[in-house]
Structures are given as C-alpha cells and as structure tokens.
Chains A and B, each alone.
Chain A
C-alpha cells in the first residue's frame, strides 16, 4: 500500500510540475484531492486495513495530501500570476481616450437660473417667496398701487386687457398688496414672475418678461435702511462690493421714489459705452411704500413703514450671459437654450 502512495506521489509531483495553466492546476486538484480524487479513493481503503497498517498508511497518505495541497497552491499562485501578466501584456485594444458613456445634460432657461440664484440670496436673508396670478385684477395692478383711473402711469405701461375685465399684470407689484393682505406686517417678501406689456417686440423689447418684486415692512423702516439693504443685496447678487446711488424717480406706489443706479462695473465709473459714459447704470426702481398702498394692504401707515423694489430678472439674465436679443428667450430655440446647462 505504501508503494501505491509513493507511485501516486511521483506521478502527482510530475503532473503538477508539468501543469501549464491555472485551470490545469485546478483540474489536477480535483483529480487528486476531489471527492472522487485518486488520493481520496485511496483513503477509502483505510477501513479495510489492520490497525497498525492503517496508522502508518493514514499518516503517509495525510502527509502526501498536505504536500500535494501545498504544491498545488504554490503552482496555482505562480501560474495565475502568469496568466494575469499574460493577459495584461497581450496587446489590448483598450483605448482610454475614447469618450465615456454619454449621459445627456439638459438645460434650464437662463431666467430660471438667475431667478433661483436670487431666490437663494433672499431666502438666506429671511425673505419669503410669494406668487401672484398672471391674469390679474385691475384693482391689484393699478388702484391698490395708487394708480387711479386716467393716471398717466397707466399709459406708461401699455396693458393687455382681457375681455372679462381682468388684465395681464404689467409688473410684479400687484404681489405687494396681495402679500400684505395675506401675511400682514412685519413682512419680508420677494415675488418673481412673468409680466406683460402691450408693445411690439424687437431686439430690446418684449411683451413678455420677468421681474422680481421685493418688499420689506416693519416698524421704523427708514430710507437709510433701504439704502443699507439694497447695497447688501446687490453686493450678493453681483457677488462683489457694489457702489450704488439713489436719485429721484417717480412711481405712484412709492414715496419717495428712487431710481437706483449701480456704479458701472465695466469701467468702474469712469465712463464707457455700456454706461453711456455716465459711470452709472440704471438698475432698479425702488422707494418707500406709499401710505395709500399700505392702507390697501390693510397695514396702518402710521404704525408701519417699508420699502419696495423691482428687479428686472430678464434684464439681469441678459446682462449675466451677454444675450443681446431679448426675443431669443421666448423662442424655444434649442440651439440657444441648450447652452444653459443647469446651474
């Protein structure tokens, strides 16, 4: 029996030595040590042996099993390392420069991008965002903003009237009174949205555009506060410290009313074509909320004061991206729109 073992040993060692691939080694392992392997079969004979023989035979067989196992393992390691080496060196056609899997990135409308950005800034400063209807009541668009019938300001904003007596809001300012009525004072809100003016379109005029209305009401809100807040907000919007100036501007729903000019950021105020050589760019109308408007909003002007401002979102988006023709914004032209990949 012992002889049988040594024959098996020699044959096994030889075969392991000859093995040329890791799969051959695996085959050998099954053939020798597997459930029906040669050595396993041999061990089955143990039960028929005498005790003394069984002891000796068992010991040798076990030693052989260990030896073969070890040899197989080291051979396997050697060959599989070879296999990997071989596969790595066998001139692969892998081209790292081919583009990655293409996932399409969509786009947001440029006004949406700017709107989100500004909403984020105002929300961070504790402003609520409110909305109002686009088909608006005459009352909110005009009367409640201290623009009575036949007021010239109604001409200034050529209005689309609806057959049902409503109108398409000419500005986001109706949201002022709606917000006051809904939330009362104190109040800090912005209202971005679409507005409409009945005028023919060209590169710089659109009948449909976006504005953002802002309003802040509390006890003791002053002109000095307005200046402070506007400067702070605009520094955030333009992401730099800005210089502003206020000059008189007439809007029926504020008193005093201001035109807020921004020191031209292109020339730094020295004068250039962008600022028409004045050093200033007319940016937004603002003012202290007119007592009549507060009253329409159900707020006592003797107790509360506040300021309001209007920002042209469409204009801001055009400034930001250098869009020179406003009409492209409502054109649905993908060649333009898809450039505004999100954010």
Chain B
C-alpha cells in the first residue's frame, strides 16, 4: 500500500521529525516499510504562465508559436499541445528548470523557431499519466507563481508491505497510519472534518433490507440530489495518482479518496437504478453479471449481492455493476457505505477471480463503526466541491450484526513478567490511550476497552495488549535477560542419531553421495522407463498431473538420478533417507516411515559386483550400528524393477526390512545400456529398532591359534548359504570359527563344479596344538565335508 506524507500531515504534525527515522521507527513498531520515495524533486523552476497569443508555426502543422507571460517577462515558446489557446494559465518550465525525464531545459530551436522554455502537461510534472494536452490551471493565479505553491508536487511516497498489514484492518487508510505515527511519537492525532448531516434528518429513510446478516454486518446509505458537473481538485488527483490510483470521474475519485483516507470502501450508485430500494442477499444459483469494468462474470452460488427489487446492481464488497454506474449525466446518487464479513468476501473474490482494493480491505474485517463516519466525511468533501448539494434521504443505517465490545483486564505485574523488563504504569497507559484504547486504572489493574477498529479480530486477549505496549515501547528497548531453566536430562533422538551415523558411514567409508529427491513420483519418467508403482497416496492439487502420487518406494526417484548422472560419471553410489507413504487406497489415511535407499551404478563393475557391494555395505552398517547380523533370503517382493534372480530380501529376527536387487534388465535397458545398476531399499525404522544387545566377552586363549585354509569342490547349483550351513553343522571342540575366503569358477575344475575356500581357526584353551592334534582335526573336517558332498580340491 502506498501512502502520501502530505496526506498524513493533514492528521499528525510531523514537524521536527526526520523522515527516514520516521519510517524506520514505523517498521520497528508497526509494519514493514518497503520503500520511501521522494517525489517531485525532479520538477524545478516551473511557474504559472499566461498564454498571450498563439500563432501557427510556419513550417509545422503540429506546432504553434506562443507568447506567454512568465511573470518575469514575455517569452516565446513553441508548443505542440492541441489545447493551447489564448488566455489560459499553464505550467511553464523555464530555461534551466527541469521536468519529468528532462533534467536541465535550455533554449531550443523547434523546426527553425526558437523556444525559451516549455509548457507542461500533467504527465511532465509527474502527477498524472495524462499527456493529452497542457495542464490548464483553473483559478486566478498570477503569472510567475511557483507551481509547487499551487499543486502538492513535492511529496514522500511510502510503500508498505501489504502482507505485514494482514492483521491490521485499521491500517488500510491514511488516518489509521497517522494514528500509529501519533502514538509512536506521542503527538496529537487531529480529528477528521465531518459533516453532521443535520439537514438530512427530516428526509425519508431509504428502503434497505439485509437478508444475509452473516455476510453483511452493516449497511449505511444516503441519497444525494442536485449533483452538478464536478471537478476533482488538483491536489486530490495528485494524491490519488501518487497512491497508485487513476482519477476516473469526480464521484468515483471521491469514493476512492475516502477509501485511501479512512480504509472504508464506498460505492456511489446512480440512484435511478436503485429507486426501488436496496436488498442485500446472496446468490442462490449461478448468475451472470456485468461489472462496471465491462466484464461479464459468472457468479457462483453464495456470493453476496446488492440488488434493487429486480436485479443485482453490485457484487458486495468487490465491484459495482455496469448497470448502476454513475455517469457524467448523473445528478442523483445513492451512497453505499457498508461493512461486509471478511472471509466470505475473500471466498467470493477468489471464486470470481476478481480482487479489488475494496475486497482486499473487507477481507481484513473492517470496523463496522466506520460506515457512518465515512458518509459524513464523504459529504464534507463533496460539499467542498459543490456546497449546494441536497440530501434526498435521511442517513439510513441498517446495523444488523452488532460487533461485540471487547474488554480486557490485565495487571502491570503480568505485563512486566511477560516482557521480562519493567515499564512504568504511566508509560503503559500512555501507549494504550494513544492507540485509542480506553483504560481505566485501578491500582495495578488495567480495565481496557478495545476500540472497535481493533476489535474485529486483531485484539482479543491479554497478550494482544502486551504486544501493543511493547511494539510502541520498542522491541529494541527491551533489555535481554538470561533465564534459569531447570536442568533436565536430554532424551536423544535415537532415530536422528541413526540417520546421521548411516550418512557418515556411507559417505566417509564407502564414498557415497547423499542426494535429496521429491517425495512424489515423476509419473512421466516411470512410464518412460516401464516402472510400475503402487502409490496409493494421491495429491489433490499437484503442480503437475504427473506429480500426483506420493512415493511408496524411493527407488524410482533414485533411478531417475542414475539416468541423469550416467553421462558424467562411470561409477557412482547415491543414497538418501526419506519418507515413503503407503495406504490401502487414496481415501485411506497413510502409513509413513523413513527408508534408506542406496543406488550403486557402474560401467566398470559388473551388476553382480554391485549387488555384492550393496550386500556388503548393509551388512557392515548393521554390524557397525547395531552389532547385528542380517538375514538374507530369496526375494519375494513383486516390484517390477527387482531382478528375478539377482535379488534378496533382508530381514532381522524375522522382521522384513527391505531388499537388494540388480535392476531388472527390462528397466535397466531403458535407463542406460552400459550402466549396471543395483539398488537397496530398507525401512530405516526397522534397522533403528534392532536391539544392540550386550557384547558377550570371551577370554582369548593363552595358546596360539592355527589358521587352516581349505578349498572344496561344490556343485554349481549349490548356494553359498547351503555350504555355509553344512560347515556350520560340523562339530569340533577345537574349532573357534570359520569364514568364507573366496570363490573360484575358472579353469582347472571338474565339469559342473566351483571351488569355495574357507578359513578355519582352531585352538585350545588348555594347550598349544600339536601337529597330531591339527592333523586329526583336518582329517575329521575333510571326512565330514566328503560325507556332505564337498570334496577337498
């Protein structure tokens, strides 16, 4: 919202106040000032001049040669404006002066004729967009008079961030802003000049009926006759223009002026269109309606309308209708000053797709007590323009939904405690009274009446009062205070610790890179790759239709990253810990948990190697974090990117945890032919829940252990698990442990066999093993292995 400093000065004396400091303090106490612009400074040395004569330019059809009285001698000026005529008073920019976008004017020759200055349009003075002709000055000004003494060209325009005013309906006009400034600086807020409407009292009341009292709280109206052809005053036009509004017609300008001054939107109907009376009601069915901007609009149900007996004439609080617009020939108007409910106005405005200055204000919940004052102010300003207007009705005020007064009781100790500093009682009361709160002091207790312009939603409770006091006092003036807080042992977030530990291990030990991805599927990517998912959790209003499904697996997103990085990298390991969402159907509430997903991709390693890498990594993580061994079994999941053979389910103590898989060849070929990919996806919560248990310590033997490596011939069809299990069944008192060393499948082996090498560690707690002991062990192991089908290689 834009504000004019000149306008504010009507209501608060700003003498002696530094303008920059003023707006800094306003930002610190009230709302964020976005910009402070000093306007008019580029207009210099412009005076009133009287056009004495106008003759055509000999060489140009467009230009004319004029002689003007500059108050300081007669000057020849060449002028191209269509409206230049003898006898008018116009602004003259003298040589050495400047106007908008023309810094130093000098003597110029225009098509061979010398010109000693320039006659100006309003646009050239920076006070309008109108460049249709010279600005003709109405009034009896002496030539040579400084234009700035007639028109308020010099001003300071302040732009306030609208967002910081959302909770302050009272700040949507200059008067409310002036009140804040007065409170901040402890100055007086001057009253507005109003018409008492005395002479309207004996006139008949208007026929106004409000049917929807939930959407319309108050509707005040006044009919005025005998309106002549008016002219908006120059300074009013300039203020409107500086505040971002275009002058339209005197009556509309006046309603706009009033809205910018008080924050109260008003509407003037041509009273011929509302002779039959005013009915305020909501649409019961979709209705077509042409607003005064000439647009035919489809109004849905439940939009509040202003109607005459026959038809709608305005959309309440949003925009008037073309059918009842005031025209140049209008002599009788019905003035509307109403109070509409905020959220229904907002809803209607959203539904219709039309947001206006008026609706933006109503949305904030305006003060219902403003409607009558606004009419009084309007009449005062109208009378300034045309003193002899006549009231054709009495002020008719239908106040159907009364605002409940708000009283708040608060004590000084409570305020001090909440702030953490001590303020004097006087300071507190002064601030509240400056903001027009009524304060009744009884000892340390304040009984406060909230002014209606703050009582519509903004201020309802004690803490709101504290905010008023502290913000005007200045947050910067509050002395920071340390605080005692009882010591309490921390409850560490174990999940978070696990996450961080996993991330550290993966990145630091395995060289993996963490990525972040979106939590919804890219349906386009999935179908391009042939990836099928079963995401049941749907977004109602996605940015794009192909992003409407929340992921139930992180793998598809990772595969997209594999495709993306394939061009630049030939070997990479990516991971993410993120949420996945599952539900039986889109209507059901979803279950959500965090998964860990790792993707291993390589052009140099085989997919088998990648698979074993992932298996090794997760085994390591489980061991490092939880001292746990994981169980791997044949993969049972139905995910279509899982390889039918090269995949494995992971579980721990019977709880399924996830899987590892080489990416199915049908999908892999779509991503990149040469890139081998394997993925791992586990439920982080299951990993987290593993009980670390207590380490069972075993005293190391004092006698040396002996390490024996043996390779056995194993049928190709027999799995490692099987061999491992068979060895596990071999019993010997000497065997302290065994582990897998390597597998060999190359030349020199019998047909259909592979060679597996295991390492056996044997020892005794009582003695050093003799060679006889060792040989006896080896003999029985080899015999046993033969008996279960594995010959020594």
B28 touches A256 (CB 8 A): no
Contact code string A100-130 (vs B, CB < 8 Å = 1, else 0): 0001111111011000100100010010111
B539 touches A134 (CB 8 A): no
B513 touches A106 (CB 8 A): yes
- The interface stretch among B325-333, B426-434, B484-492 is B484-492
- Residues of chain A within 8 A (CB-CB) of B496 are 119, 129, 131
- The interface stretch among A8-16, A29-37, A50-58, A335-343 is A335-343
B32 touches A162 (CB 8 A): no
CA separation between A221 and B483, bound complex, in Å?
8
CA separation between A164 and B28, bound complex, in Å?
43
A152 touches B470 (CB 8 A): no
Contact code string B566-603 (vs A, CB < 8 Å = 1, else 0): 00110011100001010100111110100000000000
Minimum Cβ distance to chain B for residue A242 (Å): 13
Determine whether B542 belongs to the interface, using a CB cutoff of 8 Å to chain A: yes
- Once A119-B496, A198-B541 are accepted as A-B contacts, the answer to whether A106 and B506 lie under 8 Å apart by CB is yes
B515 touches A160 (CB 8 A): no
- The interface stretch among B55-63, B217-225, B299-307, B516-524 is B516-524
CA separation between A201 and B544, bound complex, in Å?
12
What residue in chain A is nearest B575 (Cβ atoms)? A106
A152 touches B418 (CB 8 A): no
B464 touches A255 (CB 8 A): yes
B542 touches A160 (CB 8 A): yes
CA separation between A150 and B470, bound complex, in Å?
29
A133 touches B592 (CB 8 A): yes
- The interface stretch among B368-376, B474-482, B644-652 is B474-482
Q: Which of B463, B490, B512, B572 contacts A288 (CB 8 A)?
A: B463
B493 touches A129 (CB 8 A): yes
CA separation between A109 and B496, bound complex, in Å?
15
What residue in chain B is nearest A248 (Cβ atoms)? B471
B503 touches A246 (CB 8 A): no
CA separation between A221 and B519, bound complex, in Å?
38
Q: Which of B488, B538, B565, B590 contacts A126 (CB 8 A)?
A: B488
B463 touches A245 (CB 8 A): no
- Residues of chain A within 8 A (CB-CB) of B587 are 163-164
Among A200, A305, A332, the one with the most B-chain Cβ atoms within 10 Å of its Cβ is A332
A334 touches B574 (CB 8 A): yes
Minimum Cβ distance to chain A for residue B82 (Å): 43
CA separation between A287 and B148, bound complex, in Å?
46
A218 touches B483 (CB 8 A): yes
CA separation between A198 and B490, bound complex, in Å?
36
B514 touches A337 (CB 8 A): yes
- Residues of chain B within 8 A (CB-CB) of A130 are 493
- Once A150-B343, A334-B568, A335-B568 are accepted as A-B contacts, the answer to whether A128 and B481 lie under 8 Å apart by CB is no
Minimum Cβ distance to chain A for residue B373 (Å): 26
Determine whether B357 belongs to the interface, using a CB cutoff of 8 Å to chain A: no
- Once A166-B589, A332-B574 are accepted as A-B contacts, the answer to whether A112 and B503 lie under 8 Å apart by CB is yes
Determine whether B467 belongs to the interface, using a CB cutoff of 8 Å to chain A: yes
Minimum Cβ distance to chain B for residue A292 (Å): 9
Determine whether B561 belongs to the interface, using a CB cutoff of 8 Å to chain A: yes
Determine whether A310 belongs to the interface, using a CB cutoff of 8 Å to chain B: no
The number of residues on chain B lying at the interface, defined by a beta carbon within 8 Å of a beta carbon of chain A, is 90
Minimum Cβ distance to chain A for residue B489 (Å): 9
B493 touches A208 (CB 8 A): no
- The interface stretch among A17-25, A73-81, A91-99, A223-231 is A223-231
Chain A residues 126 to 147 lying within 8 A of chain B, measured CB to CB, are: 126, 128-131, 133-135
A222 touches B573 (CB 8 A): no
- Residues of chain B within 8 A (CB-CB) of A338 are 513
- Residues of chain B within 8 A (CB-CB) of A168 are 519, 539
Contact code string A259-272 (vs B, CB < 8 Å = 1, else 0): 10000000000000
Chain B residues 436 to 495 lying within 8 A of chain A, measured CB to CB, are: 461-464, 466-467, 470-471, 475-476, 478-483, 485-488, 490-493, 495
Determine whether B508 belongs to the interface, using a CB cutoff of 8 Å to chain A: yes
- Residues of chain A within 8 A (CB-CB) of B558 are 332
- Residues of chain B within 8 A (CB-CB) of A188 are 485
CA separation between A165 and B585, bound complex, in Å?
12
Q: Which of B31, B508, B565 contacts A332 (CB 8 A)?
A: B565
- Once A164-B588, A224-B420, A332-B565 are accepted as A-B contacts, the answer to whether A256 and B514 lie under 8 Å apart by CB is no
- Residues of chain B within 8 A (CB-CB) of A207 are 518, 543
Contact code string B25-51 (vs A, CB < 8 Å = 1, else 0): 001111110000000000000000000
Chain A residues 240 to 288 lying within 8 A of chain B, measured CB to CB, are: 245-250, 255-259, 288
Q: Which of B30, B511, B541, B583 contacts A104 (CB 8 A)?
A: B511
CA separation between A152 and B510, bound complex, in Å?
49
Chain B residues 519 to 562 lying within 8 A of chain A, measured CB to CB, are: 519, 537-543, 550, 557-558, 560-561
Minimum Cβ distance to chain B for residue A207 (Å): 6
- Residues of chain A within 8 A (CB-CB) of B466 are 256
A288 touches B418 (CB 8 A): yes
Determine whether A171 belongs to the interface, using a CB cutoff of 8 Å to chain B: no
Determine whether A156 belongs to the interface, using a CB cutoff of 8 Å to chain B: yes
Minimum Cβ distance to chain A for residue B752 (Å): 39
Q: A107-B507, A150-B346, A223-B418 are in contact. List 18 more A-B contacts (CB 8 A).
A: A111-B516, A126-B488, A150-B347, A151-B343, A161-B539, A162-B537, A163-B537, A164-B537, A164-B587, A196-B519, A220-B417, A222-B419, A223-B470, A224-B478, A229-B483, A248-B31, A288-B418, A332-B564
| Interface pairs (24), CB distance under 8 Å | A106-B573, A108-B503, A108-B514, A128-B491, A134-B579, A155-B346, A162-B539, A162-B540, A164-B587, A166-B589, A208-B516, A218-B483, A223-B421, A224-B478, A224-B480, A229-B483, A288-B463, A331-B564, A332-B557, A332-B561, A332-B564, A332-B565, A333-B564, A334-B513
Instruction: Identify the A interface with B (CB < 8 A).
Output: 103-109, 111-112, 116, 119, 123, 126, 128-131, 133-135, 150-153, 155-156, 160-166, 168, 186, 188, 194, 196, 198-201, 207-208, 216, 218, 220-225, 227-229, 231, 245-250, 255-259, 288, 290-291, 305, 329-335, 337-338, 342
